[in-house]
Amino acid sequence: MNSDAVTMEKIVSLARRRGFVFPSSEIYGGLGSSYDYGHYGVLMKENVKARWLEAMVRERDDIVALDSSIILHPRVWEASGHVTGFTDPLVDCRFCKLRFRADQLGEAQCGAKPSKHPGETESCDLTEPRHFNLMFSTRIGAVEETGLDTYLRPETAQGIFVNFKNVAQIARRKPPFGIAQIGKGFRNEITPGNFIFRTLEFEMMEMEFFVPPAEAEDWYRYWIEERMQWYLRFGIRESHLRVRAHEADELSHYSSATSDIEYLFPMGWSELEGIANRGDYDLSAHTEASGTKLEWVDSEMGERYTPHVVEPAAGVNRSLLAFMVDAYDEEVVAERPRTVLRLHPEIAPVKVAVLPLIPRNAEIAGRARALYEELRRAVIAEYDDSGQIGRRYRRQDEIGTPFALTIDEQTLEDDTITIRDRDSLAQERIPISGARAVVLDKLAQDWRTPKPG
């Protein structure tokens, strides 16, 4: 199918129908820009995070992991510049009462005439832009007077910077080295979010790479390339990815250069991940505010300096959305429509399904169950004995399961089963005794999407 025909409605519908993503608080009418993840959404998110952590920590020697708190001392956010600088410019329309991001009027729809942009009709009456802080405030302590006002973190990076000294001391690493962290971030986003693209809370995968100042530019280019390769490695089509460097007036308050990796989402090219050259902004700011020197000291070499920081910051949920959009496909097979998620096997929530052709045949069911028990020890597997076989295949196609194993009457005669490939629909008979090895081998092979660019 033509990829441009993948609408967000189709993704939302599949995500809901198959239990990837549900609207949040639905029985109370839903809460805007909030979503809950069902079984397959959770499994898929876990895969995205695991692939990221492998690429950052397992496959390298120069990055260590961290899990810092969501609630930090409020002074962290003052020093980091978020209290004053982490704002969006917003305009209100006095006529339709809607609120828009001043920098995104061209993409927004007028409340009175959705075919136009805000400010384009006679009745539009927009205020001057006002800066609105995106951090959610909260309060520590039960007593109003003695409580401490603070924020839910809008990014995980600050938890890394304030731990720089702890980690540098015990990690036995000198710059260039990195600290990687996955965790929730919270932003009081005002503009509606294109499904899970922009939500009030989301998971981030951030890595702060600390480098000698003279090397910052080279590492910035290095990390843009590395991160592009990560998306390609897990099957995103090259034609749907691009790098876009920020203009000077787009840069965040901490950044000297930023490039976004953008994906061609149904609503157009949009940020998937940002790679920023943060200079020594953060370590210097926290050194000044806390009085603790966050610097690199090498007494043997007589070296002392504040490292510069290069940061690739990605969103788990946005990645999941990009993987789903890129994988979504519709085709007609034997005159019947088929919807399939052509996910990379390492991203797919379920790796293999075991399907007894005639579930009420106890012998078939027994063999199928035994095979399932064997497989589930190695990979996420699913046993499905409900409904006609065609419907079971369709279900597995829609959740993106790369392989389905069917146990039938012939199995009872010659100990073979059928393995069905999600993408090619090819079916092969293989001995049941070797099924586990065959599945593991196929899962480990290189995978390229059969979708045209």
Positions in the binding site for ligand ATP (CB under 6 A): 155, 187, 189, 198-199, 202, 204, 271-274, 313-315, 317-318
The alpha carbon of 61 is separated from its chain's Cα centroid by a whole number of angstroms, namely 24
Q: What are the structure tokens assigned to 85, written together?
A: 């600088």
**48 vs 352 by CB, closer to ligand ATP:** 48
Closest separation in Å from C-beta 311 to ligand ATP: 9
**36 vs 421 by CB, closer to ligand ATP:** 36
Residue with tokens 């010659």: 414
Closest separation in Å from C-beta 226 to ligand ATP: 16
Closest separation in Å from C-beta 39 to ligand ATP: 21
Pairing status of strand 403-407 against strand 352-356: parallel
The full DSSP string for 291-322 is: S----EEETTTTEEEPPEEEEEEEEHHHHHHH
**191 vs 418 by CB, closer to ligand ATP:** 191
**95 vs 269 by CB, closer to ligand ATP:** 269
**198 vs 420 by CB, closer to ligand ATP:** 198
**87 vs 109 by CB, closer to ligand ATP:** 87
**Contact present, 136 and 151 (Cβ < 8 Å):** yes
b/e map of 218-257 (b: 16 or more CB within 10 Å)? ebbebbbeebbebbeebbbbeebbeeeeeeeeeeeebbbb
Closest separation in Å from C-beta 414 to ligand ATP: 51
User: How far apart are alpha carbons 421 and 342 in whole angstroms?
Assistant: 11
**154 vs 356 by CB, closer to ligand ATP:** 154
Q: Minimal CB distance to ligand ATP: which residue? A: 315
**101 vs 422 by CB, closer to ligand ATP:** 101
Closest separation in Å from C-beta 375 to ligand ATP: 34
Partnered with residue 208 across adjacent β-strands are 179
User: How far apart are alpha carbons 14 and 32 in whole angstroms?
Assistant: 19
Closest separation in Å from C-beta 316 to ligand ATP: 8
Closest separation in Å from C-beta 240 to ligand ATP: 15
Neighbours of 433 (CB within 10 A): 12
First to last CA, the chain: 11
Closest separation in Å from C-beta 315 to ligand ATP: 2
Distances (CA, A) of 2 to 7, 322, 338, 397, 453: 11, 16, 14, 18, 9
Q: Which of 124, 133, 129, 53 is nearest to 93 (CA)?
A: 124
Q: Which of 176, 432, 190, 415 is nearest to 310 (CA)?
A: 176
